[in-house]
Amino acid sequence: MKVLEIWSEKGGAGKSTLTIHIAVAAKLAGLKVAIIDIDPQASSADWADQRGSEPEAVAIPSSRLDKLLSDLRANGDMDLVIIDTPREANNAGYIAALAADFVLVPFKRGGFDFRALKRTIDSCLLAKKRPCLLLNGMRIGATRVEADVREALVEHECDIAPVVFHDRAPYVTASITGFTAQETEPDSAAAAEIGELFTWISRQLGLSTTRQRDKKAVSLSTTKQRDRKAAA
Ligand X SMILES: Nc1ncnc2c1ncn2[C@@H]1O[C@H](COP(=O)(O)OP(=O)(O)OP(=O)(O)O)[C@@H](O)[C@H]1O
Of 16-24, 138-146, 156-164, 171-179, the segment contacting Mg ion by CB under 5 A is 16-24
Residue in 62, 120, 123, 136 binding ligand X, rule: CB under 6 A: 136
Q: How far is the CB of 183 from ligand X (least distance, A)?
A: 16
* Residues 146-205 interacting with ligand X (rule: CB under 6 A): 165, 167-168, 171-172, 175
Q: Is 223 one of the binding residues for ligand X (CB under 6 A)?
A: no
Q: Which residues have a Cβ under 8 Å from the Cβ of 99 and sit 6 or more positions away?
A: 3, 5, 65, 66, 69, 83
33-37: strand order across its sheet: 56-59, 33-37, 80-84, 2-6, 102-107, 132-135, 159-160
Residue in 15, 21, 51, 129 binding Mg ion, rule: CB under 5 A: 15
Which among Mg ion, ligand X, none contacts residue 51 (Cβ within 5 to 8 A by kind)? Answer: none
- The answer to whether 190 and 170 have CB atoms below 8 angstroms apart is yes
Q: How far is the CB of 6 from Mg ion (least distance, A)?
A: 9
Give the residue among 89, 83, 123 at the shortest CA–CA distance from 102: 83
How many residues make contact with Mg ion (CB under 5 A)?
A: 3
% helix, strand, coil for the chain, step of 5: 50, 15, 35
Give the residue among 127, 76, 72 at the shortest CA–CA distance from 105: 127
Q: Is 109 one of the binding residues for ligand X (CB under 6 A)?
A: no
Residue in 2, 4, 5, 16 binding ligand X, rule: CB under 6 A: 16
**Helix locations, the chain, DSSP H:** 15-28, 43-51, 65-75, 91-99, 111-126, 143-153, 169-177, 181-184, 189-205, 220-231
Which among ligand X, Mg ion, none contacts residue 120 (Cβ within 5 to 8 A by kind)? Answer: none
Residue in 1, 12, 159, 205 binding ligand X, rule: CB under 6 A: 12
Q: Which residues bind Mg ion (CB under 5 A)?
A: 15-16, 43
Q: Which residues bind ligand X (CB under 6 A)?
A: 8, 11-17, 39, 41, 43, 87, 136-137, 165, 167-168, 171-172, 175
